[in-house]
A and B are shown apart, each in its own frame.
Chain A
């Protein structure tokens, strides 16, 4: 078990090294994607490795002269990776989300590093409009056509179906780990869970699935751990992974994160593509529009969904005693929604703690004090 977890952790910690090695080994090509909704199945169906580009912990250097410091850490890191030439190993970048900061970063990246081909196909953010499905289908078709032209390949419906199957299996495997973790039948630390999901964003899905299939029984055999820690739900942190040291610090304060809606967590695997829908592009578009019900996203417009209410219900359902909101500084979509989350948790008398993270890091000792007292207060309220 540890060997597999270590392998996944290794990929999560050095994502681009894996991709470079994979390219060399397979003589294949890799296409970067940007979070959070780009359907990587379409890229995979083109016969290349889709890779969700990650925030790197490296300090911002040359990118600081190309992009303002008041953008989220993820986008600042992306720009810096481009200006530093760290993304030159990619054969292209294809993305579909139009968070203003993400799109801004991509526009800066393509000027700063013209050798990287960056293509954008805007998926509609308004999910409930009459035109949402038709438009999504159209956009996905043009994304596929564009990939065909850029990469000189043909994407068939069967290619898409095969990719959908592979990705669905990966999501299902990870979700079953989530189920076990939620029920308390296994104990995985939050960083280990993050490594599992983050490595899935990078690795060849076939290889990842094989590792997960091996891992699952081992996790089960390891048995039920004693549940002495305070169960907690973690929410937020869009686009990039919260730093492992923050997750470790939280769990070292007598807390066990048992469920989450993090992008580097449940959000990434929340929704499968319905394989019974004959047209695979229609299937992907439908999954895209439905995904918000399984993990409401503040970058999407879906009047019928309330992230705050959904979160309250999820926290209660999984048996968590409270909520930890991880918010990346300058992330406007999250800023817009946080006051409602706060109000809902306050009015329902469910403890919650806001932790704002920054690319440059945060004062860990202050954080420890904050988390310890939050854990204390939560325990007393029980």
Chain B
């Protein structure tokens, strides 16, 4: 087979969607606004995990989403400095790399150490130091206790002087058979508890701003958010087409509008344009990769240092990464349950059904549904070394999908924003072995 070779794997340029440029523009604008938020008299909240930004936006508070900040640093090849700074302070590199990068930014933004000075942006300020320090911290992490501990570290890094609101998201384990995906008493209890905490969180915000909360504004923001999320899902589903007009990598490039960008007409317009571009590609028979011989599923969190590079690498294998757990099972993935006039229940439901907030038996069922829908030929399992929340069920996923759908898998280690855990040679050999397995099984079917 063409893709498997003793030599260096061929790298082909994936067909990037034009609309991605608009995403990048919105993202840059968001960061610029955040860097200058204090000058504009805005309060700043640091948060990670679930998308509580609409709640903050309605109170006219600026927000720094920790994972987004870490991904930004990685994309600009600047995550190594805060990470090294954390290691010097004694934080082990086995800790969540998002947390290490973000807390490192917090330390950098308070310090004028030599390390801080090495992270100079064009205008002479460190990127870490440009993120304004928090006026409040809201901790709201699904499933992963590391997320809560990360917020706790941020809180302590700022000398316990910044008010923090700790939300606790309950995991629907399924003690009774009645606990199903998005239904059953156990699930409803957990939604109700989170909804109550969101209400308490809004009171916490009111206490800080000294103003009554603007519920109408939240409705308006959630109207845009819901519409954007619906368009995104519709556009994703169009990628069932052969060849697939957009890849998982294009969806990772579109996380920001449904994760941390402000809710407004821009994000709706963005996904409308993206959908239109995808429809045009389908009409013209244009695929995301020059030749689509294999359709793959990406399981695991994204490797942000490698996103463009991996996209071309798989294009070189004539493989389209059609969909993935990170993109297709998260980020307002269930918009239909959001009642924009009374949005907290629906928001809580979305938070509690993100891909790390549902237990492995449900994750497996969902992945199987997606693999069948997108007619997937094989699974790439990216075991993010420092995101155990994402990686832990992967042996079970491999086993179940292998048994039920007969799909081969390639598993390799990497990370979200710590490059040092990624080994290219291992990726090459595992992916090539998997593609060979697909070829062998196709040959048997002939």
Cβ–Cβ contact A65 & B395, under 8 A: yes
Interface: B359 (CB within 8 A): yes
Cβ–Cβ contact A125 & B92, under 8 A: no
> For chain A residues 107-161, which have a beta carbon within 8 Å of chain B?
107-108, 111-112, 119-122, 124-126, 128-131, 135, 146
The chain A residue sitting closest to B160, CB to CB, is A303
Of B68-76, B150-158, B321-329, the segment with at least 4 beta carbons within 8 Å of chain A is B150-158
Give which listed residue, A70, A107, A342, contacts B393 with CB less than 8 A.
A107
> For chain A residues 248-293, which have a beta carbon within 8 Å of chain B?
none
Give which listed residue, B149, B164, B171, B389, contacts A336 with CB less than 8 A.
B149
Contact with A along B196-213 (1 / 0, CB 8 A): 110010000000000000
A101 to chain B minimum Cβ distance, whole angstroms, is 6
Cβ–Cβ contact A335 & B91, under 8 A: yes
Give which listed residue, A111, A129, A146, A298, contacts B168 with CB less than 8 A.
A129
Given known contacts A70-B94, A303-B155, A332-B149, A100 and B143 CB-to-CB distance under 8 angstroms? yes
Interface: A20 (CB within 8 A): no
A251 to chain B minimum Cβ distance, whole angstroms, is 26
Interface: B95 (CB within 8 A): yes
Taking CB atoms, residues of chain A closer than 8 Å to B392 are 67-68, 71, 100-101, 104-105, 107-108
Interface: B253 (CB within 8 A): no
The chain B residue sitting closest to A146, CB to CB, is B175
Interface: B148 (CB within 8 A): yes
Contact with B along A89-114 (1 / 0, CB 8 A): 00000000011110111011001100
Interface: B117 (CB within 8 A): no
Interface: B125 (CB within 8 A): no
Cβ–Cβ contact B388 & A70, under 8 A: yes
A301–B94 alpha-carbon span in the complex (Å): 21
Taking CB atoms, residues of chain B closer than 8 Å to A329 are 94
Give which listed residue, B91, B149, B170, B388, contacts A333 with CB less than 8 A.
B149
Interface: A350 (CB within 8 A): no
B104 to chain A minimum Cβ distance, whole angstroms, is 12
Interface: B276 (CB within 8 A): no
Cβ–Cβ contact A338 & B175, under 8 A: no
Contact with B along A3-46 (1 / 0, CB 8 A): 00000000000000000000000000000000000000000000
> For chain A residues 208-263, which have a beta carbon within 8 Å of chain B?
none
Cβ–Cβ contact B149 & A68, under 8 A: no
Taking CB atoms, residues of chain B closer than 8 Å to A111 are 360-361, 396
A122–B169 alpha-carbon span in the complex (Å): 9
Interface: B383 (CB within 8 A): yes
Interface: A330 (CB within 8 A): yes
Interface: A318 (CB within 8 A): no
Cβ–Cβ contact B391 & A335, under 8 A: no
Interface: B41 (CB within 8 A): no
Interface: B385 (CB within 8 A): yes
> For chain A residues 296-324, which have a beta carbon within 8 Å of chain B?
298-299, 301, 303
Cβ–Cβ contact B92 & A129, under 8 A: no
B58 to chain A minimum Cβ distance, whole angstroms, is 22
A214 to chain B minimum Cβ distance, whole angstroms, is 40
Interface: B173 (CB within 8 A): yes
Cβ–Cβ contact B168 & A124, under 8 A: yes
Interface: B110 (CB within 8 A): no
Cβ–Cβ contact B148 & A332, under 8 A: no
Interface: A66 (CB within 8 A): yes
Interface band, chain B: 35 or more
Cβ–Cβ contact B148 & A103, under 8 A: no
Interface: A339 (CB within 8 A): yes
A320 to chain B minimum Cβ distance, whole angstroms, is 21
Interface: B255 (CB within 8 A): no
Cβ–Cβ contact B144 & A125, under 8 A: no
Greatest chain A CB density within 10 A among B150, B171, B383, B394 is at B171
Given known contacts A65-B395, A71-B388, A333 and B175 CB-to-CB distance under 8 angstroms? no
The chain B residue sitting closest to A341, CB to CB, is B90
Cβ–Cβ contact A100 & B385, under 8 A: no
Taking CB atoms, residues of chain A closer than 8 Å to B156 are 340
Taking CB atoms, residues of chain A closer than 8 Å to B153 are 336
The chain A residue sitting closest to B363, CB to CB, is A107
A332–B91 alpha-carbon span in the complex (Å): 10
A326–B166 alpha-carbon span in the complex (Å): 29
Interface size on A, residues (CB 8 A): 45
The chain B residue sitting closest to A120, CB to CB, is B173
Cβ–Cβ contact B393 & A100, under 8 A: no
Cβ–Cβ contact A303 & B149, under 8 A: no
B391 to chain A minimum Cβ distance, whole angstroms, is 6
Give which listed residue, B90, B166, B175, contacts A121 with CB less than 8 A.
B175
Interface: B193 (CB within 8 A): yes
Greatest chain B CB density within 10 A among A101, A301, A342 is at A301
The chain A residue sitting closest to B141, CB to CB, is A100
Taking CB atoms, residues of chain A closer than 8 Å to B94 are 70, 329-330, 332, 335
Greatest chain A CB density within 10 A among B94, B160, B200 is at B94
A104–B95 alpha-carbon span in the complex (Å): 16
Cβ–Cβ contact B155 & A125, under 8 A: no
Contact with A along B392-423 (1 / 0, CB 8 A): 11111000000000000000000000000000
Cβ–Cβ contact B148 & A301, under 8 A: yes
Give which listed residue, A65, A103, A340, contacts B143 with CB less than 8 A.
A103
The chain A residue sitting closest to B147, CB to CB, is A100
Taking CB atoms, residues of chain B closer than 8 Å to A146 are 175
B413 to chain A minimum Cβ distance, whole angstroms, is 8
B3 to chain A minimum Cβ distance, whole angstroms, is 27
Interface: B15 (CB within 8 A): no
The chain B residue sitting closest to A329, CB to CB, is B94
A263–B372 alpha-carbon span in the complex (Å): 46
B139 to chain A minimum Cβ distance, whole angstroms, is 8
Cβ–Cβ contact B171 & A99, under 8 A: no
Cβ–Cβ contact B171 & A103, under 8 A: yes
Greatest chain A CB density within 10 A among B193, B200, B392 is at B392
Interface: B145 (CB within 8 A): yes
Taking CB atoms, residues of chain A closer than 8 Å to B168 are 122, 124-126, 129, 135
Contact with A along B349-388 (1 / 0, CB 8 A): 0000000000111000000000000000000000101001
The chain A residue sitting closest to B171, CB to CB, is A122
A65–B152 alpha-carbon span in the complex (Å): 34
The chain A residue sitting closest to B167, CB to CB, is A126
Interface: B122 (CB within 8 A): no
Cβ–Cβ contact A126 & B90, under 8 A: no
Give which listed residue, A67, A121, A340, contacts B395 with CB less than 8 A.
A67
B12 to chain A minimum Cβ distance, whole angstroms, is 32
Taking CB atoms, residues of chain B closer than 8 Å to A105 are 392
A371 to chain B minimum Cβ distance, whole angstroms, is 20
Taking CB atoms, residues of chain B closer than 8 Å to A65 are 395
The chain B residue sitting closest to A304, CB to CB, is B160
Interface: B20 (CB within 8 A): no
A131–B167 alpha-carbon span in the complex (Å): 10
A65–B394 alpha-carbon span in the complex (Å): 10
Interface: B237 (CB within 8 A): no
Taking CB atoms, residues of chain A closer than 8 Å to B200 are 129-131
Taking CB atoms, residues of chain B closer than 8 Å to A125 are 145, 148, 168
Taking CB atoms, residues of chain A closer than 8 Å to B361 are 111
5 contacts between A and B (CB under 8 A): A103-B143, A119-B173, A126-B168, A303-B160, A335-B91
Give the 3 A-B residue pairs with the shortest CB-CB distance, closest first. Answer: A104-B392, A339-B90, A126-B166
